[in-house]
Amino acid sequence: MTGTTRSGPLRLLHIHSSFDPGGKELRTVQLINAFGKGVMHTVASAVPGATGAMRHVARGIPVLQINLPGLGGRPGPLKLRALAQAMKPYDLILTYNWGAINAALAHSAFGPSLGLAGLIHHEDGFNADEATRLKPSRNAFRILALARAQALVVPSTVLRNIAIETWRQPPGKVHRIPNGVATARFAAKPRRDVLPRLVKHKGELWLGTFAGLRAVKNLPRLVRAFAPLPEPWHLVIAGEGPERAAILAEAERQGVAHRVHLPGFVADPASLIGLFDLYALSSDSEQFPISVVEAMAAGLAVASPAVGDVAAMIGEANRAYVTDPADEAALARALLELVEAPALRHRIGIENRAKARAEYDEATMVARHAALYARVMGRERFP
């Protein structure tokens, strides 16, 4: 199952619940672009039409889109066999998160009899329905579905522990590969008018975040924590999603609507993040948020609830501003303390930038994925 004898370009199948822009989807695009034109990628989304991340694939990289029936809903034997049959043309199968678990189960059930290539599953975190407690039924399902996966990739120590202790995966099968960015690109200072409908005026200071506007990101919490900050400060939330109206309504309730800005999705965070003076998260659940790496690479201090690996990711001086997730007032105090101490923000930012460059550069992430892919495929190198 792990070797390949087919001629021509290597063919990788990426199976996602959705391929609209988000952390795992844009990381997939990073890898697709880094591997270049010698690999043929096929992307399947369980939600038809949810393929917005395709826009960020570099010109000339061969990527196809397909529909795979049966990714959602109850996985009956006929459905699973049809899913497994659809995987036959590929040299490596890559599944992502709970939304693709039916595909992992199909591979586990029918992979040996159909001679399927190896499968690597990726888990990046949880939606709002598992933000505070994992569902026992899903844990049991993952144990079954991942039984014959060749590897499980996670970005965080928290997820690695869950994979080993809760999903009963052998430690040697679980690979922690932290997310990475092209850190050097985040050093440049953007133009103040880089956003089409929002200009940073002289004297303004921006608290910023990049996030899908989803319930698990709890952005109304960030609006409330921001509200006591002094008038020169503005909150900029870059992203799109169903919680937009709720965020704006909270800004109205707090009397800060004139200082809260939602410019929409920003395709290139490096083009904007340098305008931020401080970075914040407010999520109920994260694992290894790539936006924090981007903020670190841009030389920013970060305030955040203690979710996932955030406290371990950032520099030592920044860790005092990672707060109890249940204590919203503590997040507000952390923001206010950083707002009132520009020299401290600067020192923390320098340490964060150095750590991002040393530990979380995109080249390291790409190399680790390539080495794992090669091993699962029985090759000396990938591609």
pLDDT tens digits along 14-70: 999 999 988 899 999 999 999 999 999 999 999 888 999 999 999 999 999 999 888
Note the pLDDT tens digit of each residue in 106-147.
999 999 999 999 999 999 988 878 878 899 999 999 999 999
Q: Give me the pLDDT at residue 4, please.
A: 44
Describe the crossing of helices 244-253 and 219-226 by its angle, rounded to 10 degrees.
20
- Is residue 5 over pLDDT 70? no
| Closest alpha carbon to 101 in 80, 129, 82 | 80
Report the DSSP pairing between strands 63-66 and 233-238. unpaired
Q: Tally helices (H) and strands (E) across the chain.
A: 12, 13
Confidence of residue 344 (pLDDT cuts 50, 70, 90): very high
Nearest 5°: CA angle at 178, between 176 and 183?
160
Average pLDDT of the chain to the nearest whole number: 94
Set out the domains of the chain in order of their start, with CATH numbers. 10-180+362-377 (3.40.50.2000), 183-359 (3.40.50.2000)
Q: Give me the pLDDT at residue 377, please.
A: 97
Say how many C-beta atoms besides its own lie within 10 A of residue 267's C-beta: 12
Q: Give me the pLDDT at residue 197, please.
A: 87
> What does the pLDDT average to over 322-335?
97
Q: Give me the pLDDT at residue 7, please.
A: 66
Q: Give me the pLDDT at residue 126, please.
A: 85
Query: Does 130 or 208 have the greater pLDDT score?
Result: 208
Rounded to a whole number of angstroms, the distance between the first and last alpha carbons of the chain is 18
- Is residue 8 over pLDDT 50? yes
Say how many C-beta atoms besides its own lie within 10 A of residue 52's C-beta: 17
Task: Provide the residue count of the chain.
Answer: 383
- Is residue 173 over pLDDT 80? yes
- Alpha helices for the chain (secondary structure H): 23-35, 77-86, 101-114, 136-145, 157-165, 219-226, 244-253, 290-297, 310-313, 328-339, 342-359, 362-377
Q: Give me the pLDDT at residue 49, please.
A: 87
Q: Give me the pLDDT at residue 6, please.
A: 57
The encoded tokens of residue 349 equal: 């930012």
- Is residue 225 over pLDDT 90? yes
- Is residue 223 over pLDDT 50? yes
Ramachandran quadrant class, 255 (left: phi over 0; alpha: psi -120 to 50; beta: rest)? left
Cis ω on the peptide bond leading into residue 383 (within 30° of 0)? yes
CA distance 94 to 2: 13
3-state DSSP helix/strand/coil percent for the chain, to nearest 5? Answer: 45, 15, 40
DSSP codes, 36-80: GGGEEEEEEESSTT--GGGGGSPTT--EEEE--TTSSS---HHHH
Describe the crossing of helices 342-359 and 328-339 by its angle, rounded to 10 degrees.
100
Q: Give me the pLDDT at residue 2, please.
A: 46
The encoded tokens of residue 15 equal: 């199976």
- The model's pTM is 0.83
Q: Give me the pLDDT at residue 125, please.
A: 87
Note the pLDDT tens digit of each residue in 361-371.
999 999 999 99
Percent of the chain at pLDDT exceeding 70: 98
